[in-house]
Structure 1
């Protein structure tokens, strides 16, 4: 019975631990590895633990801090813009996101130090008391308060203020997909903010924009150019919320799977996040394979396209 309770205590915390790991690392695969490592440590714990949640949060956070050291080194040599692995949830789900972290906020958190990131996530997102954060990080309470204050200043502009409703998210995602696919300048002009940015992560595995694209005029020229060049025409698989932002999953006839997330503010798209790196789309591919039409090459990997998105 004691062993059953030990397992039950861990399983009760697993979703939260996975969320912390993902928000810390930006990778579902790495978060799952961290949670598995936490389980192996939990298995070796003898005797009762007063607070399994506190113990496991401390273990996962410290494992993530260790991971971030090597992750930051890898990103220094990453090919093109780096984006977090997409967390996709159905646009129509009532409880889409268990926290209020969007992809835009995750990108802003990349500017934080690992300790600032951990402090902000644990205290501001996961409601861990600062005294407990201090114990987790092994820092004095005053130092942790400073970390929290600095982190909030850095990410304040990216905190979600007016979440887009499910129906509006679906409408915007569908409208943008059609406008971008067709190179429709008038429709794109109506959707994009003047200072829109496009981030495309191909990871050197498939062709993607090597630099962030700035400005609506340049973005529209690129989408029109793709239409003229007759690049592999994408097919919309589904709309979805992607890390709290309206978006969709598409695939082209060259078998390149892509998620596109749209940061919408005041009715205009201010940022577009395109994930094309097949190494980061394993979860999405698995989710989409069963639902895809038989003539779409979802089974074959996504290394085919030699055109920009």
Structure 2
């Protein structure tokens, strides 16, 4: 891999992941961009413009294809978890806004945008490219790009969480959430949940889980306990024979703390919370094995159930 390409690879991965919401798809896009770069490297005058343009166009094309497949996806669809560190993976971290742009909450909101709106939002509001640069990358006039950016921001403002949470509170609530799950008490877990909390489960039809969101503190608490206590039917659905093989891990994912249940180093549950005003306002649950193959991370702590 050339030094020039390597120097831009993290940014390309960051753009592709935010546009697509899947690590595997983003990696495929970057690999295809590499092939095109290898053919054109000697003729390129502006490497960054070339690589961002190629990556963005490939990501838009792939997103259009996968959106058609998502129409037949079984149940709710969530982004594929991205393992991160205290610095944000996928680019050079530049503060809270860049970190927040890979949060599960915002990526879910971005799903409501068209592929072009999503690409413009990522390039302009996350990576701060100029309108002329984005227009050239998308082969649109600048006025059209500005309109796309305006529409995208309006959708994001409408759908994103109204209150941001500081990292310490997020981590504290996540720790208490795990403790409540292990203690097995519905009431203790409900105390951490907003009355209108939503749990969004993504199984793809490949694991035992509801196919629609669960709403309400008691309903969510009872379901969470059932999942986190690893019932036999759930374990069987993800190919685990013995509960003794499992352990809980706290990891960093999508720029915040997340909970994983791991069986023999293979994640079978990935849980991330959205915290508002000190309580859990949303739960994102990924149990589709197809989305958990690449999410093994350096754990912060391990606890056997």
Is the Cα–Cα contact under 8 Å of residues 267 and 293 in structure 2 kept in the other structure? Answer: no
Q: In the TM superposition, what are the counterparts of 1:125-274 in structure 2 within 5 Å? A: 125-156=126-157, 157-158=159-160, 162-165=164-167, 167-223=168-224, 231=232, 236-251=247-262, 257-274=268-285
Q: Distance in 2 between matches of 1:188 and 1:217?
A: 9
Contact 1:180 1:188 (8 Å CA) reproduced:
yes
Say yes or no: does 1:70 pair with 2:65: yes
2:4 equivalent in structure 1: 9
Counterpart of 2:205 in 1: which secondary structure? Answer: coil
The CA deviation at 1:153 is 0.6
Within 2, Cα distance between the matches of 1:117 and 1:85? Answer: 17
Separation (CA, whole Å) in 2 of partners of 1:48 and 1:110: 36
Contact 2:251 2:298 in 1 (8 A): no
Q: Summarize deviations over 1:208-240 as a string: whole Å, max 9, x none.
A: 221111111221233456689955669553212
Distance in structure 2 (CA, Å) of the matches to 1:22 and 1:160: 24
> What count of residue pairs does the alignment treat as equivalent?
283
Segment drifting more, 223-232 vs 167-176: 223-232
- Aligned to 1:284, what secondary structure does the other structure show? coil
Report the Cα offset of residue 69 of structure 1. 1.4
Specify every segment of 5 or more residues in structure 2 that has no aligned partner in the other structure, as ranges. 236-242
Separation in 1, partners of 2:60, 2:118: 9
State TM-score, norm by structure 2: 0.83
Aligned-pair RMSD on alpha carbons? Answer: 2.8
Asked if the contact 1:170–1:240 (Cα under 8 Å) also holds between the matched residues in 2, the reply is no
* Closer, same or farther: CA 288–203 of 1 in aligned 2, 3 Å: farther
8 Å CA contact 2:74–2:211 kept in 1: the answer is yes
Q: CA deviation at 1:178?
A: 2.7
**Aligned 8 A contact 2:74 2:205 in 1:** yes
Tell me the TM-score normalised to structure 1 length: 0.82
- SS of the residue corresponding to residue 176 of structure 1 reads helix
Give 1:108-127 correspondences, 5 Å limit. 108-127=109-128
- Measured in 2, the distance between the counterparts of 1:50 and 1:41 equals 15
Q: 1:282 aligns with which of 282, 288, 293?
A: 293
Aligned twin of 1:47 = 42
Q: 1:121: Cα distance to partner?
A: 0.5
Structure 1 residues 147 and 193, CA gap change in structure 2 (3 angstroms): same
